[in-house]
Amino acid sequence: MIILYCVCTVVLLFLLYGIIPTIFIRLFAVRIIKNGPTERKEFFLTFDDGPHPVYTPQLLDLLKSYNVPAAFFIVGERAEREPELLKRMSNEGHTVGIHHQTHSNSWLLTPGKLKKEISRCATVIQQATGKKADFYRPPWGRFNLFSLLLAREYQIIMWSSITGDWKAGQGKDKLAAKLKKSLHSGCIYLLHDNGENPGADDEAPSVMLEALRGFLEYAQRQGYIGMPLEELKNTNKRG
């Protein structure tokens, strides 16, 4: 009976600390942006989990060829190994935002550890680019009870389109079709330039790159323009 009580208490605390705050924040769009302005034919590309020494340079080349800016929510410990890629992102007009120092789950972080994850990643960005990070997206889009307080100086960006691009099995054609179907004014796309996290496929970014090429051609034909994330700074969209 005591064991059951302890288990129930732990489950309740876990719900109150992580799962319920995440549901509440995302459902009611509390201090987060999930979509950009809807009055113009614009979209926003965002990439999580990088940088990757092979796929991120290929992605930067692709974006440059189409003259499309993007936002990279980087993992600090990976960026420390690839500072030149962060410099290139910044120099080529892309936004570099905070994911975490490690690809850590906010549900499992104490307030102190969460603060350290955010601040250390911000320091990596500052040192590599010479610029202060303005945007934050927690891994898996998960918050805890203290996330909004500890990230209060940053604009929190979520997404309007998530396509499962971390799995390679769907293939480039199906992924491209999902990207095209999601296209609407203000759409914020969530993609990944690194497939090294648990549950992801290492080769998934190569599939994403091929699908993205087809999508960018399609978007331009439809009259859509990729925009920098800075356009969303200091705004608080709901949906």
Q: What is the pLDDT of residues 163-172, one digit of tens each?
A: 999 999 999 9
229: tokens are 């994330």
- Residues, the chain: 239
Residue numbers annotated as active site: 48, 192
CATH of range 2-232; options 3.20.20.370, 3.40.50.300, 3.40.50.970, 3.20.20.70 = 3.20.20.370
Rg of the chain, C-alpha, whole Å: 18
* Whole-number pLDDT of residue 234: 67
Q: What is the pTM of this model?
A: 0.95
Predicted pLDDT of residue 130 = 98
Give Dmax over CA atoms of the chain in angstroms.
65
Distance CA 197, CA 130 (A): 28
What residues of the chain score a pLDDT lower than 70? 5, 7, 234-239
pLDDT at res. 237: 42
The predicted-structure confidence for 73-102, as pLDDT tens digits, reads as follows 999 999 999 999 999 999 999 999 999 999
Structure-block tokens of residue 217: 């051609």
* Exposed / middle / buried, residue 215 (Cβ in 10 Å: 0-12, 13-18, 19+): buried
Specify the 3-state DSSP secondary structure of 191.
Answer: strand
pLDDT at 8: 77
Name the residue among 77, 43, 47 with its Cα closest to residue 59: 47
Looking at residue 9, what is its pLDDT? Answer: 76
